[in-house]
Amino acid sequence: MESKETLVGQPVATRDLPAAKLSGATVRFGTYTAIEHLDLEIEAGAFYTILGPSGCGKSTLLRLVSDLIPAASGEVCVFGKSTEEARLAREFAFVFQDAALLPWRTALENVELPLEIGRKRNVRIPVGPRNPRELLELVGLKGRENALPHELSGGMRQRVAIARALLCQPKLLLMDEPFGALDEMTRDRLNLQLLEIWRETGTTILFVTHSISEAVFLGQKVIMLSANPGRLREVVDIELPEPREMKLRDTSDFTRHCAYLRELLETC
Ligand SMILES: Nc1ncnc2c1ncn2[C@@H]1O[C@H](COP(=O)(O)OP(=O)(O)O)[C@@H](O)[C@H]1O
Ligand SMILES: [Mg+2]
């Protein structure tokens, strides 16, 4: 199978293994079943968005894949490894809705944080081809390296969090409503930027959103979950031209995809 060459010449997403594979995965919190018997295969290098009613298990799915919570039954593999092995090998990184930056550290120092923690614990952190400064440049924050989080806008703080997540060149990026708290214009800009980063790095992205148009704009595939308990409803292919541009959202094809997902969501 081919491996994808990034612009910096590093093979990132080897294509022979799925980025994630869930087989009959079930998650329980006490007696409550949050996810029930989920079968799902995430193709390496692709951009997936996840939609579903509030409380249907979107965050739980990301937490399951990232080894934050265990499966009660079934199996979850990340690039052919157990979720724990994949976590230890830093195969994936997580970006939350809240940038979760340390307020007393500059943007650059926040991106460097995983390296510092690794040094203190005597753990070798496998870094990617870009250093923290270059990662800040990649997310459009050149010149703001020394700014403290409170000196940055919400969108900029999220970009710092993305730069930090990219430090170890993760093959899988898990994003839980990362732009959900931002205004629409900022979100649009960050959507375009994220697509550029995705193309350039070759990483696989699993991106949770509650916005149908964001899901369609970003995703090559949309994973629709249904609620109570969380189950896979449908994986919808988004057949829209690449690279995605803003004007795409004014096309009838785009509207058609949104309408289909809106109807589907009503039955979830
Ligand atoms: N740590 C937890 N303990 C108990 N119940 C939880 C926990 N985390 C999530 N849940 C429940 O599991 C369901 C799915 O939650 P979540 O994945 O956060 O939903 P979503 O992200 O789709 O809105 C919800 O009913 C939620 O209340
Ligand atoms: Mg959630």
- Dihedral angle over CA of 170, 118, 113, 135, nearest 10: -40
Burial of 27 (0-12, 13-18, 19+ CB in 10 A): buried
Closest atom of ligand 1 to CA, residue 54: 23
Overall number of domains in the chain: 1
d(CA 59, ligand 2 centre) in Å:
4
Residue 237: predicted pLDDT: 97
Looking at all shown ligands, the one closest to residue 32's CA atom is: 1
Confidence of residue 182 (pLDDT cuts 50, 70, 90): confident
In a domain, 138, yes or no: yes
Looking at all shown ligands, the one closest to residue 56's CA atom is: 1
Element spanning 160, H or E: helix 154-166
14-50 tens-digit pLDDT: 557 999 999 999 999 999 999 999 999 999 999 999 9
Closest to 25 measured CA to CA, from 58, 73, 69, 57: 73
Whole-angstrom distance, CA of residue 58 vs CA of residue 15:
25
In a domain, 53, yes or no: no
Contact 97, 176 (CB under 8 A): yes
63-111 tens-digit pLDDT: 999 999 999 999 999 999 999 999 999 999 999 988 899 999 999 999 9
Contact 5, 164 (CB under 8 A): no
Looking at all shown ligands, the one closest to residue 177's CA atom is: 2
Instruction: Choose the weakest-confidence range: 29-38, 102-111, 116-125, 196-205.
Output: 116-125
Looking at all shown ligands, the one closest to residue 63's CA atom is: 1
In a domain, 197, yes or no: no
d(CA 60, ligand 2 centre) in Å:
7
In a domain, 129, yes or no: yes
Please choose from 35, 59, 210 the residue to mutate so as to test ligand 1's pocket, defined by most ligand atoms within 8 A of CB: 59
Nearest CA to ligand 1 atom 25: 55
d(CA 176, ligand 1 centre) in Å:
13
Q: Before 18, cis peptide (omega within 30)? A: no
Residue 244: predicted pLDDT: 96
Residue 129: predicted pLDDT: 84
Ligand 1 pocket (Cβ < 6 Å) reads: 29, 32, 34, 52, 54-60
Query: Higher-confidence residue: 118 or 161?
Result: 161
Nearest CA to ligand 1 atom 26: 55
Nearest CA to ligand 1 atom 18: 59
In a domain, 29, yes or no: no
In a domain, 149, yes or no: yes
Indicate the pTM of the whole model.
0.91
Q: Which domain holds residue 126?
A: 98-169
The per-residue pLDDT of the chain, averaged, comes to 92
Residue 14: predicted pLDDT: 52
In a domain, 164, yes or no: yes
User: Does residue 198 carry a pLDDT above 50?
Assistant: yes
Percent of the chain with pLDDT strictly greater than 90: 77
Nearest CA to ligand 1 atom 23: 55
In a domain, 56, yes or no: no
Determine the residue type at 195.
L
Q: Name 78's bridge partners.
A: 20, 81
Residue 215: predicted pLDDT: 97
Whole-angstrom distance, CA of residue 153 vs CA of residue 106:
14
> What value does the mean pLDDT take over residues 104-130?
90
Residue 9: predicted pLDDT: 40
Nearest CA to ligand 1 atom 3: 29
